[in-house]
């Protein structure tokens, strides 16, 4: 996409001096997208003032202290309850759940915005979009709202009349939003934003044959029986990343397998992807699009949790990876796939097609700002 410079650098600097990215700490995906956007904005606009704020910190810090725990408890222990709430939010326009929450918090957010006076608000969490839209409606508040959908979904919880621009993951989601009445002129297909270091495959990195990357972020347990089986396959290396789960990291590190390397939180996941044949992970939107950019086939654990179901269907439909019902099935899947070069090539080709269909290498924040302004 060619970007036409409609305004001077000085004029752009005026517009870009105050951008507020609103997010929430429910899982890591929303915050990760926020950081990726901030990175890109600051790279394109050296003098830009960009703030990332958890909206609950603004409207009610006490609620924030317990909300993430409630979210984890619902998704892990009471998925039926979570999915019931999610389905209401996803399938009904102006649903009662989001309306109640917006009515509770929009006045507090308005007070904050009156002090900060951002020129543009970027929302990476659906409820943030809803509350900002409420502020715009109730106070006739003049601010540009960009909503970034962080899973492969077209849920109503993301869609509000006060939105100036939607950044969506795929063409299919774009057309679904159009079907729900969103003007096609304010929808841009961008993929899910990822940090620059994930944007391209390192062509100078030699992929170690049969290296499997297992990312256990959001997974609290992996059985010793599974580890024993994985350790037996000496023809490929297993690398396990536990993320911020220090308890799991210590447990796995203490086992000391000869063919399994265990890592905690890492800053070089992009490099580890470059060395891998497959990535085994949960079906999080950000991880999926990091893998797409790295042209790395996925093995994902099936999920019946709300937004993750959309991500699973996306993987299946585009044939960019394998969906397994249980992590314990991994050795069987690897045995069949790892030694079959045709299968690996098949998934690689499909991922390259998907990557090419996105605007990652052409779209810039500059073009988005032009569209919004």
Query: Rounded to whole angstroms, how far apart are CA atoms 254 and 246?
Result: 12
* Model-wide pTM > 0.75: yes
- Tell me, what's the pLDDT at 10? 47
Confidence grade of residue 368 (pLDDT, cut at 50, 70, 90):
low
- Considering the domain 9-191+360-372 in this protein, what is its CATH number? 3.40.50
Rg (CA), the chain: 21
Q: In which residue are the tokens 């939607």 written? A: 166
- Tell me, what's the pLDDT at 212? 93
**Cα→Cα distances 28→32, 154, 267, 283, Å:** 6, 20, 14, 13
| DSSP string over 17-57 | T-EEEEE--SSSHHHHHHHHHHHHHHHH-TT--EEEEEHHH
- Tell me, what's the pLDDT at 204? 58
18 Cα distance to chain centroid:
24
- Percent of the chain's residues with pLDDT above 90: 70
Q: Name the strands in the sheet holding 321-324, side by side, starting at the edge strand that comes first in the sequence.
A: 260-263, 238-241, 212-215, 278-281, 298-301, 321-324
- Mean pLDDT, the chain, rounded, equals 88
- pLDDT over 70 at 373, yes or no: no
* Each residue's pLDDT tens digit, 186-205: 999 999 999 999 987 766 55
DSSP letter at 296?
-
Mean pLDDT on 253-281? 93
Fold of 197-357: Rossmann fold (3.40.50)
**Cα→Cα distances 73→138, 158, 218, Å:** 34, 23, 12
* Each residue's pLDDT tens digit, 35-55: 999 998 888 887 788 999 999
Confidence grade of residue 13 (pLDDT, cut at 50, 70, 90):
very low
Parallel/antiparallel/unpaired status of strands 298-301 and 187-189: unpaired
364 Cα distance to chain centroid:
18
* Each residue's pLDDT tens digit, 74-90: 888 899 999 999 999 99
- The per-residue b/e assignment along 231-246, b for 16 or more CB within 10 angstroms, e otherwise, is eebeebbbbbbbbebe
Which element (helix H / strand E) includes 299?
Answer: strand 298-301
Contact 321, 249 (CB under 8 A): no
DSSP letter at 364?
-
Nearest to 280 by CA among 296, 268, 294, 292: 296
- Tell me, what's the pLDDT at 31? 94
Per domain, the residue ranges of the chain are 9-191+360-372, 197-357
Packing angle, helices 79-91 and 306-318, rounded to 10? 80
Both tokens of 328, joined, read 């314990």
Parallel/antiparallel/unpaired status of strands 165-168 and 120-123: unpaired
Contact 13, 7 (CB under 8 A): no
| DSSP string over 220-287 | ----HHHHHHHHH-TTS-EEEE-TT-HHHHHHHHHH--SSEEEESS-S-HHHHHHT-SEEEE---HHH
Mean pLDDT on 105-132? 95
- Tell me, what's the pLDDT at 370? 62
Q: Judge if 9-191+360-372 and 197-357 fold alike in CATH terms.
A: yes
């Amino acid at each position: 996409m060619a970007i036409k410079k409609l305004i001077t650098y000085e004029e752009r600097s005026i517009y870009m001096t105050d951008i507020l990215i609103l997010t929430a700490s429910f899982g890591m995906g929303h915050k990760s997208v926020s950081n990726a956007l901030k990175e890109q904005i600051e790279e394109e606009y050296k003098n830009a003032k960009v703030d990332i704020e958890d909206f609950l910190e603004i409207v009610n810090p006490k609620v924030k202290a317990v909300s993430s725990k409630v979210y984890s408890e619902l998704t892990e222990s009471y998925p039926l309850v979570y999915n019931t709430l999610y389905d209401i939010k996803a399938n009904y326009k102006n649903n009662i759940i989001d309306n109640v929450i917006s009515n509770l918090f929009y006045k507090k957010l308005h007070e904050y915005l009156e002090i900060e006076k951002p020129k543009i608000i970027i929302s990476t969490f659906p409820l943030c979009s809803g509350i900002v839209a409420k502020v715009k409606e109730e106070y006739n508040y003049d601010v540009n709202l960009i909503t970034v959908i962080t899973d492969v979904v077209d849920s109503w919880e993301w869609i509000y009349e006060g939105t100036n621009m939607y950044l969506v993951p795929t063409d299919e989601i774009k057309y679904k939003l159009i079907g729900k009445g969103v003007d096609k002129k304010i929808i841009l297909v961008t993929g899910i934003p990822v940090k620059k270091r994930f944007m391209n495959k390192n062509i100078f990195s030699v992929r170690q044959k049969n290296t499997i990357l297992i990312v256990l972020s959001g997974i609290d347990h992996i059985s010793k029986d599974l580890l024993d089986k994985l350790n037996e396959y000496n023809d490929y290396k297993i690398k396990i990343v536990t993320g911020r789960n220090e308890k799991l990291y210590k447990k796995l590190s203490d086992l000391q397998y000869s063919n399994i390397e265990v890592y905690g939180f890492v800053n070089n996941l992009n490099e580890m992807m470059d060395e891998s044949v497959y990535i085994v992970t949960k079906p999080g939107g950000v991880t999926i699009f990091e893998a797409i950019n790295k042209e790395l086939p996925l093995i994902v654990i099936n999920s019946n949790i709300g937004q993750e179901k959309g991500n699973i269907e996306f993987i299946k439909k585009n044939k960019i990876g394998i969906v397994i019902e249980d992590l314990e099935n991994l050795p069987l899947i690897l045995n069949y796939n790892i030694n079959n070069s045709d299968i690996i090539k098949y998934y690689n080709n499909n991922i390259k097609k998907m990557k090419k269909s996105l605007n990652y290498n052409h779209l810039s924040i500059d073009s988005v700002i032009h569209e919004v302004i």
